[in-house]
Amino acid sequence: MPVTIVTGGQWGDEGKGRIVDMLAAEADIVVRCQGGPNAGHTIVNDLGKFVLHTVPSGIFSERSRSVIGPGVVISPAGLAAELQELAAAGIDISRLLISERAHLIMPYHKLFEHLDEEGHSGTLRLGSTKQGVGPAYADKAARTGIQAGDLRDLSSFARRLKEVLPIKNRIIEGVYGNSPLNADDIISAIEPAAAFLKPFIGDTSIPLHDALGSGKRVLLEGQLGMMRDLDWGAYPYVTSSCPSPSGMVAGAGIPPQHVDRVIGIVKAYTSAVGEGPFPTELLNEDGDWLRKQGAEYGATTGRPRRCGWFDAPAVSWGSRIGGFTEIVITKLDVLTGRETIPVCTGYTRAGQPVSRSEAAYGWQDLQPIYETKPGWSEDLGNCRSMADLPIAAQDYVAFLEEQIPAPISMVSVGPQRDAIIMRA
């Protein structure tokens, strides 16, 4: 069974891209399964530093084919620009294939998300990136979406747009009081991107199933993390797709029985972008220190990320729902310089202990219970085995493993490809 899944085990931004980049060296196909340009995967390799928003992180591998699956939503102009930037940097983009069934983010989707987010408050304000991802998925579910396959024939695209746009304009004018959008303007604006993307668009199921049938290795790349999953995350502060492994196989078009490895990526601490509950968030100098040391700013928005200590109950929840067979700890090096490092091992609410089952629905009003571990001062950047780590860092990793229901297989101590420690 030749399929490996890489997904986030926290609130997103865990460092999935660099792990996919590393694993892609042994993969035949790398598939981006869900989400859209609302999150960025940062890659540092011999060619430089890259931030990918829609293109799979396997694009840098000389042997892998990259696939954007039907579960992804695509901004045509944004994806075309991303690919052109990669090509200009000397990256071979010819092995990319875009599913004809992937849905398009249209100008009205971005407009709706901007207007909605600006007009909402309280629990309705989600901290959206305003990339139009949520409204695009809403149209997909409402069966009023436009698919990437329509870009291969602009007359087909125009026909579909002119069916849908009057519905959107009634909302734009009647609800928001804005001027309606013009179909011809949208068509003219999208034409260059459509022409550029057309050669990449096709049926992704055939090469995937051919690869599975011949025993080739397929790597599935998720976006965001388990706590942002539409079904199992901290609703309503979630994304509009399912970054859980079950959602990823659906978004790739792969039967689940082919999966033999599910890797959950988590930071040695916790970070999040957007609104919503975050039990271990640090609104003090410790949070500022983590943000500075970890360079915690959104790859898509540039917004400062919210930072806090490692939340073992949240990671355990994601691991159980996601069926993680192993966990990778990233950014252990960021914690260098701390005398002590707290780890959340449970919660209270209104002074009473809260079971993990009770905490998993809502996540509001939780107070963390911390156990504090010794820190270390040594630089970890050149460590390549567990024995190279200071004893306190070894103990910290071992303690995290005791708190979560899956073994820690790798530890990252820097952004470079080789800054990885393999554990037995």
Q: Is 209 annotated as catalytic?
A: no
| Three-state secondary structure readout of the chain | CCEEEEEECCCCCCCHHHHHHHHHHHCCEEEECCECCCCCEEEEECCEEEEECCCCHHHHCCCCEEEECCCEEECHHHHHHHHHHHHHCCCCCCCEEEECCCEECCHHHHHHHHHHHHHCCHHHCCCCCCCCHHHHHHHHHHCCCCEHHHHHCHHHHHHHHHHHHHHHHHHHHHCCCCCCCCHHHHHHHHHHHHHHHHHHEECCHHHHHHHHHCCCCEEEEEEEEHHHCCCCCCCCCCCCCCCCHHHHHHHHCCCHHHEEEEEEEEECCEEECCCCCCCCECCCHHHHHHHHHHCCECCCCCCECEEECEEHHHHHHHHHHHCCCEEEEECHHHHCCCCEEEEEEEEEECCEEECHHHHCCCCCCCEEEEEEEECCCCCCCCCCCHHHCCHHHHHHHHHHHHHCCCCEEEEECCCCCCCEEECC
Q: Is 13 annotated as catalytic?
A: yes
| Per annotation, catalytic residue among 13, 28, 139, 229 | 13
CB 64 within 8 A of CB 28: yes
- Tally Cβ neighbours within 10 Å of residue 174: 9
| Per annotation, catalytic residue among 21, 28, 41, 53 | 41
Q: What is the dihedral of CA 18, 20, 85, 91, to 10 degrees?
A: 110
First-residue to last-residue Cα distance in the chain: 22
Q: Round to whole Å and give the CA distance between 287 and 325.
A: 31
Residues marked as catalytic: 13, 41
